A and B are shown apart, each in its own frame.
Chain A
Amino acid sequence: MTVTVKLFATFRKGRFKESQRDYPEQTTVGEVIDDLCLPNHELGAILLNARHVGKGLQLHEGDTLSIFPLVGGG
């Protein structure tokens, strides 16, 4: 299946801004995060088709996954 992955802020460095990526059926959000080597402790909001999701959710053909790093300074 093909999934659109959008990365934001620091997660773009050495990766990409937006990419159409092929994954096996039943791939989870967490498996995409691992595939992209995004550090768990840096994870902020994760949105699947504009809805907040956890890492266990399975992806489907045509989904758009947006991943933001945790921003906490002030």
Chain B
Amino acid sequence: MSALEEFFAAEASGDLIPWQSQVLAAEKFSMSLGAVEEAMLKAGWLPGRYQRNRQMLSTAQQHKLFCSCVAVIGCGGLGGYVIEQLARLGVGRIIAIDPDVFEEHNLNRQLLSSPRLLGHSKALTAKARVNDINPAVTLVAVEKAFDGDNGARLVAGADVVVDAVDNVAARKALDIVCRELGVPLVHGAIAGWYGHVSTQYPGDEIIKKLYGHSDDSPGVESQLGNPSFTPGATASFQVAEVCKIISGEGELLRHRKLHIDLLAMETEDVPF
């Protein structure tokens, strides 16, 4: 047994290793918190922070999540909640892409925004937030607009891509890039009281069917805006999809779109 494995065995309570011991291991063995977490999960120990995941996910699945990379395109309404939830879930590497800075009109809904951060980069704020809530997770911040030219390079290495962009042109570019790279795309979009979510695997044509006829002009969100709750609700459905894609659990929103109406409190499962 290696010194690190002996340390884990000595510090564990049952199969759980507390955060304090993880920090101690990183110092003692000159490793990053992420490298310690990966070694713990690989050896079958569960970091204490994930103990409430365990009725849903095995330690092996938690290890798989930690070894996964998810690219989130957009760090605004949907993206802020998506990134927060991915980091708390235990996805080990997150690529967060957004060229924008926070503006006052973001404050009603964007989780990462606050008055003191007005004018600050959304992507860099996401990095600071993730470092605060789960320092074992690596967040790669990219302060660039995703497009057809740079897209494949920006999301290279991602196991899943999450669509949290706010315009149709970027969605079409995202669709093409994910098809080329052969990566699943978890699509989400919101407007006012309404949102929808769908999961597209390479070869599926959800984005084309939804937006193919559009001339890239904005949807009804341009009139409706977005309140505080629609991004959070829709983003949660997206993160559940990511969790299932990586863990292999459950049923996916594949070949269908879940339409969410928070005004009528209805959902509609729309076949594609």
Chain A interface (Cβ within 8 Å of chain B)? Answer: 8-10, 12, 17, 41-45, 47, 50-52, 54, 66, 68-74
Neighbouring A residues of B204 by C-beta, 8 Å: none
CB distance from A39 to the nearest CB of B (A): 9
What CA separation (Å) do A66 and B257 show in the bound complex? 13
Tell me whether B166 and A69 are in contact (CB under 8 A): no
Tell me whether B219 and A71 are in contact (CB under 8 A): yes
Q: A45-B209, A45-B257, A52-B209 are in contact. Are A72 and B189 (CB under 8 A)?
A: yes
Tell me which of B86-94, B151-159, B210-218 binds A. B210-218
* Interface size class, chain B: 35 or more
Tell me whether A71 and B271 are in contact (CB under 8 A): no
What CA separation (Å) do A70 and B171 show in the bound complex? 13
CB distance from A52 to the nearest CB of B (A): 5
Tell me whether A71 and B191 are in contact (CB under 8 A): yes
From A8, A12, A42, A50, give the contact of B271 (CB < 8 A).
A50
Additional A-B contact list (4), CB under 8 Å, known A73-B77, A74-B77, A74-B165: A12-B264, A69-B194, A73-B191, A74-B74
| B181 CB–A CB distance under 8 Å | no
Neighbouring A residues of B103 by C-beta, 8 Å: none
CB distance from A7 to the nearest CB of B (A): 11
What CA separation (Å) do A1 and B106 show in the bound complex? 49
| B164 CB–A CB distance under 8 Å | yes
Residues 211-237 (chain B) with a chain A CB within 8 angstroms = 211, 213-215, 217-221, 223-224, 226, 231
From B76, B79, B194, give the contact of A71 (CB < 8 A).
B194
Tell me whether B272 and A73 are in contact (CB under 8 A): no
Neighbouring A residues of B178 by C-beta, 8 Å: none
CB distance from B208 to the nearest CB of A (A): 10
| B69 CB–A CB distance under 8 Å | no
What CA separation (Å) do A43 and B223 show in the bound complex? 14
Q: A9-B191, A10-B192, A43-B213 are in contact. Are A71 and B221 (CB under 8 A)?
A: yes
CB distance from B207 to the nearest CB of A (A): 11
| B243 CB–A CB distance under 8 Å | no
Neighbouring A residues of B259 by C-beta, 8 Å: 8-9, 68
Tell me whether B196 and A71 are in contact (CB under 8 A): yes
From B163, B168, B224, B272, give the contact of A10 (CB < 8 A).
B224
Report, nearest first, the 4 A-B pairs whose CB atoms are least far apart. A73-B221, A72-B219, A70-B219, A74-B166
CB distance from A26 to the nearest CB of B (A): 23
What CA separation (Å) do A63 and B166 show in the bound complex? 34
Neighbouring B residues of A69 by C-beta, 8 Å: 191, 194, 219-220
Neighbouring A residues of B210 by C-beta, 8 Å: 44-45
Tell me whether A71 and B220 are in contact (CB under 8 A): yes
CB distance from B95 to the nearest CB of A (A): 16
| B8 CB–A CB distance under 8 Å | no
CB distance from A60 to the nearest CB of B (A): 19
